[in-house]
Structure 1
Amino acid sequence: MANDEGGGCCCGFCFRFIITSGFAALFLWLSLRTSSPKCSIQDFYVPALSLTHQSSNNHTLYFDLKLDNGMKDKGVRYDNISLTFYYGQNSSLPIGNYTVPGFYQGHGKKAHRKPSVEVRGVPWEAAIGAVSNGSRVAFRVGLVTRVRFKIVFWFTKRHNLVVGANVEVDGSGKKIKKKGIRLKSGAPEGRCSHVWIGLLLVLGVLVALL
């Protein structure tokens, strides 16, 4: 009888140990999991294409870049952020470049950078003719940087962040879309795969302990 009670106590202890270890593994994975900051173009203005305030000699492009660290428990350290602008959705010839100096962004913080860039190589006559006829013209914005994530007191290794998006402009000289335009990666999203990897790791720990 005593042996049965001892065996039951041992089994109960092992079961609690396995459950506790599983939750500890899950908590560790959640603590180390990171997500890339969201980059978007909030405002985009080309005065040369404005039919009401047109200035043929003003070839400046004004924009508002928003960087959003959605993680509530991790910071982001940006290297210098390189922005490249193109005229046309599929063009490979840049019309302008701008570099945002690197900086640190705290937990759950948002940052805006609102510079301007002088653009060259735009077929202005054709572009003005298009918006004058009620059409729209397209620009493309590409963003390249490397980021490190701060977890508690230490930083991870650098991760590449390469994103971009098309921005359509009409006769107001401004982007057509009222909301911000998210800069996205051409690579497929990996969030779901990360979730499955985490669950498999937890399952692996539980199996190893059984």
Structure 2
Amino acid sequence: MGKGSKPHIDIYLWLLQIIIVLALASLVIIWVCLHPKTPTYTILDFYIPALDDSNNSTVNRNSTIIFNLQISNPNKGIGIYYDQANVSIQQAGNQDIGGSFIPCFYQGHKKSTRREVTVNALEQFWKTDLNSTLVDLILRLKTEVRYTILGRKTKHHMVNLEGHVSIGSDGKLVEIILWLSLRPQSPTYTITDFSIPSLDNQNQNTTSSVISNNSNSTVSLVLKIKNPNKDYSIYFDDINMKLYHGSDALGVTTIKAYKQDKKENENFPRTIDADGPLRNVLREILKNGTTELRVGLDTKIRFKIWGRKTKHHGVQLDGRVPIGKDGKISGKNKGIKLHKRSKK
């Protein structure tokens, strides 16, 4: 009886192995389906008719920029629904030239689609020196897509892209980056803590003693820097921070250059020696119970994409910090996010 049951055990073990293999294969298939590849965008050609001396047609006198974009779905068995894509063109220095859009459409698996895009350039663009050897332009595209997996549509996925092209004096393409690269998101900068120790209630005896006390003229703060990118690390140059009260500079501090990995957060406690200028701040707080300080931040960053570092991107930010009578951030603010500095 025991010997006769052994073949049955072997069969059961064989079936179990088959089930395990099939289960693992199913998991792999499900993982692939749940992680579809992003569509690719290729600039096939780029043309500014007004710069082409060989073109004597009326189009030569208009203000259009024309380019062809190839959009490819690299996924097998997965279709893509594209929302309207907004396209913009900028010149070096982030000067806007014009924009256009690509209407919504559906694309089957392993398919490629070509779209011609025409942009009516702003008047300022034609006033620049377009007869120079090269004109460097930046093309940006933003849209959302949904994938069809096993007959069902996924949630929307953001597509944010950037490509660089160089145009010759004849208005035709000289140099092209074929594949528009995924445009990385800028890091975020937040003041999560701020205090003026000399205004600590435990240390306050009289108004005059606080103002005349030179033993502690410091301001303490914590800057949180977050890299929101899941695929790109960031290289920071020295980060210079300056504290202002109105137009008066109170002091500066520096965070040394460093690298931040993808999806990483860093907290930087810093102390600023405000010395003499801090007295005016203390007087205003003790008189009114509140004041407002401004934190300015300047640095340059580079992203690491596909093993290569991008060019430097300048960062100039400001944040207004309301201060209460205790020398800390007033109100219900959990943090002060720094924003792009106004040009005014």
Matched, 1:122 2:125: yes
Aligned position for 1:205: none
Deviations 1:100-151 (A, max 9, x none): 11111112222222132210121545121x1xxxx21111100000000011
Shift of 1:86: 0.6
Aligned equivalents of 1:181 and 1:189: distance in 2? 23
**Which residue of 73, 79, 82 maps to 1:78?**
82
Aligned equivalents of 1:155 and 1:79: distance in 2? 13
Aligned position for 2:16: 14
Aligned position for 1:35: 37
Question: Aligned pair in 2 of structure 1 residues 150, 124: CA closer, same or farther (>3 Å)?
Answer: same
Aligned equivalents of 2:128 and 2:8: distance in 1? 89
Two-structure CA RMSD over aligned residues (Å): 2.6
**Which residue of 93, 96, 103 maps to 1:94?**
96
Q: Which amino acid aligns with 1:105?
A: Q
Larger RCO: 1 or 2 (CA < 8 Å, sep 6+): 1
- TM-score normalised to structure 1 length: 0.75
- TM-score normalised to structure 2 length: 0.48
Aligned position for 1:144: 142
Aligned equivalents of 1:72 and 1:109: distance in 2? 9
Question: Aligned pair in 2 of structure 1 residues 18, 165: CA closer, same or farther (>3 Å)?
Answer: same
- Kept in 2: contact 1:43–1:180 (CA 8 A): no
Q: Which amino acid aligns with 1:161?
A: V
> Which structure shows the higher helix fraction?
1
Aligned equivalents of 2:114 and 2:11: distance in 1? 59
Question: Aligned pair in 2 of structure 1 residues 57, 6: CA closer, same or farther (>3 Å)?
Answer: closer
How many residue pairs end up in the alignment? 182
> Which structure shows the higher strand fraction?
2
Q: Any idea what SS the aligned residue of 1:27 has?
A: helix
> Among the aligned pairs, what percent are the same residue?
24
**Which residue of 150, 158, 165 maps to 1:160?**
158
Aligned position for 1:184: 181
- Kept in 2: contact 1:64–1:115 (CA 8 A): yes
The answer for unaligned runs of 5 or more in structure 2 is: 185-228, 232-344
